A and B are shown apart, each in its own frame.
Chain A
């Protein structure tokens, strides 16, 4: 028998039933909930007199709607407040634990799962949110589901699914200094396209991963969905185990040893066959940025805005034309130097401690350009606390940026943080769709380091292109 890929191993270990002609019944180890995609599912349960089968395998948080300043005041928008009230009430009724706004455990659902050790190798993790792919960084099979499926998981702790196809993305070579996980994943999406991963679980492979932190791996897996994939995975290794050890929900004592022994088996067998293999050379990569209105419309920051005529495929050509009009860009214009109004550092893609450190590194001794607003929004309250312990918040504040409480914030315009029509942002989030950050908003996806440099320059800029920072008073250069 041929070997199995990592994704197949995890799938097979969760197979409850396989009947010919029907999708498999797959067991779900952890179900995460947030306020936007759950109310109709809870309603459905209530309507049929059903319960949440395993509240102890379910955890809720508030992230999409919540304000990131003045969080102890009642939520001003009555509709957002109703949604937040609904999830609190539903969790109370159905016995589900919730990290409500103001709770030290609150944060973006894909940040709090990993940071508490709730996401572990080999698990199946689902959430009514497409960026559930983030959790695949631990070697979990983690994917977003719709509200009907949320209800199905709550009622049965399972899902009905046909096995996903498997795809290997081999990251070849070693990146140049200054190239981050975000640049790598933007380049991968540019290469395979927004539909390239359709129906597949991507397993990222390559030597570069061994040297990558869990945060960086999460950034990569997070954006698998932008390549159209159901999930992204990275085989667990010592870095994974080291990250998990001692965290709240990580196993302890003998159970830890048993778990690690099992986790070590979670890698693709030598003789396993992927349905599709894509090689991406990352050795020549430089910082990447999006120029258009889908995450496949990306280019090196050092390049120029493409012209519709650069695309042979008529569908892509039309998409480019429309995107340039929406983004108000001209073919041939250098990407570096495009002026922005706003810089957003945060989201489940780049709102973790390492991301804040990378941006602070660039901002130390520098100031956000006049007329530019920079919003720094930690992915969770724990990230915020850790950043404040290191004094990162002071770096941001000294530079003239805003330091906020945790939430999705300006990643999507569902809370008080959004752009005005026509405004342009450099954003560390994951989607540059039309209107994503507010009606008429224009988004350029970037890494945290590029976001910080852009804030200083007032225009898209790589950190290497900034003039030297001023020397600083001692407390601002504290070790991180």
Chain B
């Protein structure tokens, strides 16, 4: 995972709620066996509609997606996160995220920030009026800064630390091997096991 400290980029405003995982990446793009190569799948159905936000000239190169509530609802597919990253997004701001999507994003270095809907609206307006104006997302200071707007955000300190350092979570957990073994010794004998292939 790439570390995340501070990022400055332009905003793609998406005035929509319930941007579900089937919109983020339709199932026909889920058949790859890799973690990359999903840029074409991002919003594939909506991209067929003329005038879709993502393809408007003024938002080309935007790296901070700002959307309405219930972002990432639906399936657990991590491909949704991979497609956003592959397309070049580093940050998604929404007034509410689906839990699994949020967990997936933070494990892949896509910073998801939950802000009040009023702030989301303020960011939408600014981006629509001045698409060239970048925002800065500062994970060390836990701040989003636009030209005339500074807002603090919260992030679980553990996820913040992992993102800042680009840490591998499996390595971190493997350090608890003794605790895991001790736990395993106490598991009741009735618990099911499957034949090993």
User: When the two chains form their complex, are residues A414 and B33 in contact, meaning their CB atoms are under 8 A apart?
Assistant: no
What's the Cα separation between A95 and B197 when bound, in Å? 5
Return chain A residues, CB-CB under 8 Å to B16: 318-319, 322
User: When the two chains form their complex, are residues B173 and A25 in contact, meaning their CB atoms are under 8 A apart?
Assistant: yes
A-B contact pairs, 27 of them (CB 8 A): A21-B157, A36-B30, A39-B33, A43-B35, A56-B196, A57-B193, A82-B33, A97-B196, A146-B81, A146-B100, A148-B107, A149-B107, A156-B170, A156-B174, A160-B158, A250-B192, A251-B190, A294-B73, A315-B68, A315-B69, A412-B27, A413-B27, A414-B30, A414-B31, A431-B20, A433-B20, A434-B23
A-B contact count (CB 8 A): 208
Determine if B98 is an interface residue (Cβ-Cβ < 8 Å). yes
Return chain A residues, CB-CB under 8 Å to B86: none
Return chain A residues, CB-CB under 8 Å to B172: 160
Determine if B195 is an interface residue (Cβ-Cβ < 8 Å). yes
Return chain B residues, CB-CB under 8 Å to A149: 103-104, 107
Q: Which one of A122-130, A215-223, A459-467 contacts B? A: A122-130
A sample of 6 more A-B contacts (CB under 8 A), given A22-B158, A318-B16, is A23-B158, A55-B194, A82-B33, A130-B74, A149-B103, A151-B170
Q: Which residue of B lies closest to A40 (CB)?
A: B35
Using a Cβ–Cβ cut-off of 8 Å, how many residues does chain A contribute to the interface with B?
A: 87
**Nearest CB in chain A: distance from B96 CB, A:** 5
Determine if A276 is an interface residue (Cβ-Cβ < 8 Å). no
Contact with B along A426-463 (1 / 0, CB 8 A): 00000101111001100000000000000000000000
Return chain B residues, CB-CB under 8 Å to A96: 196-197
- B118-167 contacts to A, CB under 8 A, are 156-158
Return chain B residues, CB-CB under 8 Å to A43: 33-35
User: When the two chains form their complex, are residues B69 and A195 in contact, meaning their CB atoms are under 8 A apart?
Assistant: yes
A435-B22 contact given A65-B31, A129-B75, CB 8 Å threshold: yes
| A→B interface (CB under 8 Å) | 16-17, 21-23, 25, 27, 29-30, 36-37, 39-40, 43, 48, 50, 55-59, 64-65, 79-80, 82-83, 86, 91-92, 95-98, 117-118, 120, 123, 128-130, 144-149, 151-152, 155-158, 160, 162, 194-195, 198-199, 228, 230, 249-251, 255-256, 258-259, 262, 293-294, 296, 315-316, 318-319, 322, 412-414, 431, 433-436, 439-440
Return chain B residues, CB-CB under 8 Å to A194: 18, 70, 73
User: When the two chains form their complex, are residues A433 and B23 in contact, meaning their CB atoms are under 8 A apart?
Assistant: yes
What's the Cα separation between A22 and B18 when bound, in Å? 30
What's the Cα separation between A250 and B187 when bound, in Å? 16
| B→A interface (CB under 8 Å) | 15-18, 20, 22-23, 26-28, 30-35, 45, 68-70, 73-78, 81, 96-100, 103-104, 107-108, 117, 156-158, 169-170, 172-174, 176, 179-180, 183-184, 187-197
User: When the two chains form their complex, are residues A56 and B194 in contact, meaning their CB atoms are under 8 A apart?
Assistant: yes
Return chain B residues, CB-CB under 8 Å to A440: 45
Contacting residue for A157 out of B77, B180, B197, CB 8 A: B180
A16-B183 contact given A95-B196, A146-B100, A258-B188, CB 8 Å threshold: yes
- The B interface is mostly helix, strand or loop, or mixed, namely loop
What's the Cα separation between A459 and B35 when bound, in Å? 42
What's the Cα separation between A258 and B33 when bound, in Å? 43
What's the Cα separation between A315 and B19 when bound, in Å? 12
By Cβ-Cβ distance, the 3 closest A-B pairs, closest first, are A146-B104, A251-B190, A249-B192
User: When the two chains form their complex, are residues A146 and B191 in contact, meaning their CB atoms are under 8 A apart?
Assistant: no
User: When the two chains form their complex, are residues A148 and B22 in contact, meaning their CB atoms are under 8 A apart?
Assistant: no
What's the Cα separation between A379 and B15 when bound, in Å? 38
What's the Cα separation between A440 and B179 when bound, in Å? 51
Return chain A residues, CB-CB under 8 Å to B68: 315
Contacting residue for B100 out of A25, A130, A249, CB 8 A: A130
Q: Which residue of B lies closest to A83 (CB)?
A: B31
Q: Which residue of B lies closest to A132 (CB)?
A: B76
What's the Cα separation between A280 and B97 when bound, in Å? 25
User: When the two chains form their complex, are residues A82 and B31 in contact, meaning their CB atoms are under 8 A apart?
Assistant: yes
Return chain A residues, CB-CB under 8 Å to B73: 194-195, 228, 294
User: When the two chains form their complex, are residues A123 and B191 in contact, meaning their CB atoms are under 8 A apart?
Assistant: yes
A16-B18 contact given A97-B194, A251-B190, CB 8 Å threshold: no
User: When the two chains form their complex, are residues A146 and B107 in contact, meaning their CB atoms are under 8 A apart?
Assistant: yes
**Nearest CB in chain B: distance from A308 CB, A:** 13
User: When the two chains form their complex, are residues B191 and A29 in contact, meaning their CB atoms are under 8 A apart?
Assistant: yes
What's the Cα separation between A83 and B34 when bound, in Å? 11
Return chain A residues, CB-CB under 8 Å to B74: 130, 431, 433
What's the Cα separation between A434 and B108 when bound, in Å? 26
User: When the two chains form their complex, are residues B170 and A198 in contact, meaning their CB atoms are under 8 A apart?
Assistant: no
What's the Cα separation between A256 and B69 when bound, in Å? 46
User: When the two chains form their complex, are residues A195 and B190 in contact, meaning their CB atoms are under 8 A apart?
Assistant: no
What's the Cα separation between A319 and B73 when bound, in Å? 14
What's the Cα separation between A412 and B99 when bound, in Å? 21
A414-B76 contact given A56-B193, A118-B192, A228-B70, CB 8 Å threshold: no
Q: Which residue of B lies closest to A151 (CB)?
A: B170
Return chain B residues, CB-CB under 8 Å to A144: 75-76, 100
Return chain B residues, CB-CB under 8 Å to A27: 180, 183-184, 187
**Nearest CB in chain A: distance from B193 CB, A:** 4
What's the Cα separation between A47 and B80 when bound, in Å? 23
**Nearest CB in chain B: distance from A136 CB, A:** 15
User: When the two chains form their complex, are residues A433 and B22 in contact, meaning their CB atoms are under 8 A apart?
Assistant: yes
What's the Cα separation between A212 and B197 when bound, in Å? 36
Q: Which residue of B lies closest to A113 (CB)?
A: B192
Return chain B residues, CB-CB under 8 Å to A435: 22-23, 26, 45
User: When the two chains form their complex, are residues B75 and A156 in contact, meaning their CB atoms are under 8 A apart?
Assistant: no
